[in-house]
Amino acid sequence: MGLLGGIAKTAIVAGTAQATRNAVNRHAAEKNVRAYSEARDEVQGGQVTYKQPPPAAPDLQEDVISQLERLGALRPRESSPKKSSRPRRQRYSARNHQQG
């Protein structure tokens, strides 16, 4: 395959690529024309339909507060919490020594 063969091969590949690009562009143009025509016909016919807006989101802040109130009601209430005069470290240490 000499110089002319290489040139011919390049021309064939380039021509095929160009034909493919043209076909894709033509297909896209036809598709756009159809879509544009359908949209124009809808507008002219007065049949424009709009999507319904999405439903409003529930008020999550209020929902969380009501859930926390219900959870708080489930927690047992202590009439008078026990408070020790000793610091926590001493109370813990005293418990461990009593078990031995």
Q: Give pLDDT, residue 22.
A: 92
CA atoms of 75 and 4, how far apart (whole Å)? 92
Alpha carbon distances (Å) from 5 to 1, 13, 14, 19: 5, 12, 14, 21
Alpha-helical runs (H) found in the chain? 3-45, 60-74, 88-99
C-alpha atoms less than 13 angstroms from C-alpha of 36 in its C-beta half-sphere: 6
* pLDDT surpassing 60 at residue 99: no
User: If you search the block for the tokens 């709009």, which residue do you land on?
Assistant: 50
Average pLDDT of span 77-84: 60
* pTM for this predicted structure: 0.35
What pLDDT shows up at residue 4? 82
pLDDT band at 94 (very low <50, low <70, confident <90, very high): low
Summarize pLDDT for 18-52 with one digit per residue, the tens.
999 999 999 999 999 999 988 887 777 665 667 78
Contact 84, 91 (CB under 8 A): yes
Write the pLDDT tens digit of every residue in 54-79: 777 766 666 778 888 888 888 776 65
